[in-house]
Amino acid sequence: MIDLTSVLARRSDVRYRHVPPETVLIRQSGPEVILLNGIAGRVLDLIDGRRSLAELVAALADEFEAPRPTLESDVLAFASELHAAAVVEIVPPVRSAP
């Protein structure tokens, strides 16, 4: 179950390239090619194995003018879709040094 506390990382067989205004994503083990729109491509950039989805939404809110609740629900829906498509995986949160 993915929620705003989840930390996601791109799977190792995933490569992507921004080709404005879209992004091409290739999952080599599938193999599968997926096209993403510009905001979805930006979300992929921000999925780095360190940020929680709440932090990711905060970063997006700085870049895009959209109501926070809308961003949260869109990001959660998209992250779940990427997870179901085996593009991303849930990783343990990175603990900061004491």
Partner 1 sequence: MPRAPSPPAFAAGTASMPFGELYLANPALLPARLAGEPWGGERLVVDLPGGPFAFSGLTPWQSEALAHRWSGFICTNGEPAAVETLVARVAPEEFCRFDLRGFELTLEAVHSETAVQLVGYETMARLEWRSGGVRGAIWTSAEDPGGFAGAVENYFRALVAYRLAECDAVLLHAAAVVHDGAAYVFCGPSGAGKTTLARLCAASGDVVSSDDLVAVALRADGALALPLPFCGDLRAPQPPAPQPVAALCRLRQAPATAAQRLGPAAGVAALSACAPYLNRDPYRLDALLARLASCVALAPVLELELGRSTLPWDALAARGLAA
CA dihedral 38, 43, 46, 48 (to 10 degrees): -120
Q: Indicate the residue among 81 and 89 with the shorter CB distance to partner 1.
A: 81
Phi and psi (nearest 5°) for 89?
A: -135, 155
One residue of 4, 24, 59, 61 binding partner 1 per CB under 8 A: 24
Report the residue number, 64 or 97, with the smaller CB distance to partner 1.
Answer: 64
Is residue 8 near partner 1 by the rule CB under 8 A? Answer: no
> Is position 4 an interface residue for partner 1 (rule: CB under 8 A)?
no
Does 6 help bind partner 1 (rule: CB under 8 A)? no
Using the minimum distance from each CB to partner 1, give the nearer residue, 31 or 98.
31
Query: What would the two tokens of residue 62 be?
Result: 């700085």
Nearer to partner 1 by Cβ, of 77 and 94: the residue is 77
Contact with partner 1 (CB under 8 A): which of 6, 56, 72, 78? 78
58 contacts: CB under 8 Å, gap ≥ 6: none
Q: Rounded distance, CA 25 to CA 89, Å?
A: 15
**What contacts 32, CB < 8 A, 6 or more positions away?**
26, 85
